[in-house]
Copies of this chain bind each other. A is one copy, B any other.
Amino acid sequence: MERPQPQRPASGPGESAPYTARLLIDCADRPGIVAAVSGFLFEQGANIVSSNQYSSDRIGGRFYLRTEFFLESLSAGAGVGVGVDEVLGERERFERRFDDEVVARFEMEWQIRYQGERRRLAILVSRHDHCLVDLLWRMKRGELDADVVAVVSNHHDLAGEVEAAGVPFHHVPVEQGAKEKAERRMIELLAGKVDLVVLARYMQVLSGEFLEQLGAPVINIHHSFLPAFAGADPYRRAREHGVKLIGATAHYVTEELDGGPIIEQDVARVDHRHPVSELEGIGRDIERLVLWRAVSLHLEDRVIADAGRTIVF
């Protein structure tokens, strides 16, 4: 896990602070990790608000920890007369101490995210509007803990929706045999400028090079219950196969088509009377919900990818 760039904390005094920061750790499993981390937090005066852990194997496994803690001195708007710079200084000292006293000892990968740090999210979409509309609506309500900084589409259809929501819309067509050009354009638009990319029914396969240059995680919604019906036209194939449940799958994107680590899945019951068009309608309601759950789990730092699978805390 990479560490995000430091950001200046939001400093509104009226902001509720159920937690100050989330600490995510993974390392080779061995005794004493929880004791070291919780001991360190206690010594700094922090109170643990929630904590989840997982070991991939009893012996020789990897250990994963997600902890939310409250610590006044690191909180944005910490107190009357406490400036932003002071808080940033406190955070720096806290992180350095943690690095020295705990991280080094266990060779940990770690990241910390402070409450109020906003991440930048871009949405890629083709023509289907349901996932996009749902995300924009949640953004507007304040449910989405991120700023949607761009929507990119290979079609013009959804420009109106996006602009009405006050989000910049970029049309990046993918011409026959010129996918590379489109990906270059998207890298210009997005690389280094977003923390997460969401494919809200973006119907183009992204190359490994693109994913690498992008440098941010990408979440896709696939309209089937993977690994069944990977690839094109899953509802038609579900109909032909006569399955009694259809589903949707949100997963991190890797080079393998519809093959990256699964974050969330769900299904709905169907029967022989449903033509493909009705499967699509039922499916839309699953897709937007499964994608939303995956995106919000990701933004709450609850998802860790491990060897092709995810741990979801």
Contacts of A285 in B (CB 8 A): 289
Contacts of A272 in B (CB 8 A): 54, 306, 309-312
Interface centre among A35, A271, A285 (most CB of B within 10 A): A35
Q: Which residue of chain B is the closest to A71 with respect to CB atoms? A: B31
Stretch at the interface among A168-176, A190-198, A258-266: A258-266
Contacts of A289 in B (CB 8 A): 285
Describe A's contact surface by its main secondary structure.
mixed
Contacts of A309 in B (CB 8 A): 240-242, 272
* Cα–Cα distance between A47 and B55 once the two chains are bound (Å): 11
* Cα–Cα distance between A311 and B264 once the two chains are bound (Å): 24
Closest approach, in angstroms, between the C-beta of A156 and any C-beta of chain B? 17
Contacts of A242 in B (CB 8 A): 261-262, 308-310
Contacts of A133 in B (CB 8 A): 137
Are A31 and B54 in contact, CB atoms less than 8 angstroms apart?
A: no
Q: Which residue of chain B is the closest to A52 with respect to CB atoms? A: B52
Are A244 and B264 in contact, CB atoms less than 8 angstroms apart?
A: yes
Partner of A245, one of B41, B42, B267: B267
Number of copies: 4
* Cα–Cα distance between A172 and B262 once the two chains are bound (Å): 42
Decide yes or no whether A164 CB sits under 8 A from chain B.
yes
Decide yes or no whether A50 CB sits under 8 A from chain B.
yes
Contact mask A42-73 → B, CB, 8 Å, 1/0? 10011111111111001000000000000000
Decide yes or no whether A232 CB sits under 8 A from chain B.
no
* Cα–Cα distance between A121 and B150 once the two chains are bound (Å): 36
* Cα–Cα distance between A30 and B227 once the two chains are bound (Å): 40
New A-B pairs, 14, CB < 8 Å, besides A54-B273, A129-B141? A31-B42, A34-B38, A35-B35, A36-B42, A38-B38, A39-B39, A49-B58, A50-B54, A225-B245, A226-B241, A228-B228, A240-B308, A241-B309, A272-B312
Q: Which A residues are within 8 Å of any B CB, using their own CB? A: 18, 30-32, 34-36, 38-39, 41-42, 45-55, 58, 129, 133, 137, 141, 143, 164, 225-229, 240-245, 247, 261-267, 269, 271-273, 281, 285, 289, 306, 308-312
A-B contact pairs, 27 of them (CB 8 A): A18-B58, A31-B45, A34-B34, A34-B38, A35-B35, A39-B39, A48-B53, A50-B54, A51-B51, A54-B272, A54-B273, A225-B225, A226-B228, A226-B241, A227-B243, A240-B309, A242-B261, A242-B262, A242-B309, A243-B265, A244-B262, A244-B263, A244-B312, A245-B265, A245-B266, A269-B269, A272-B311
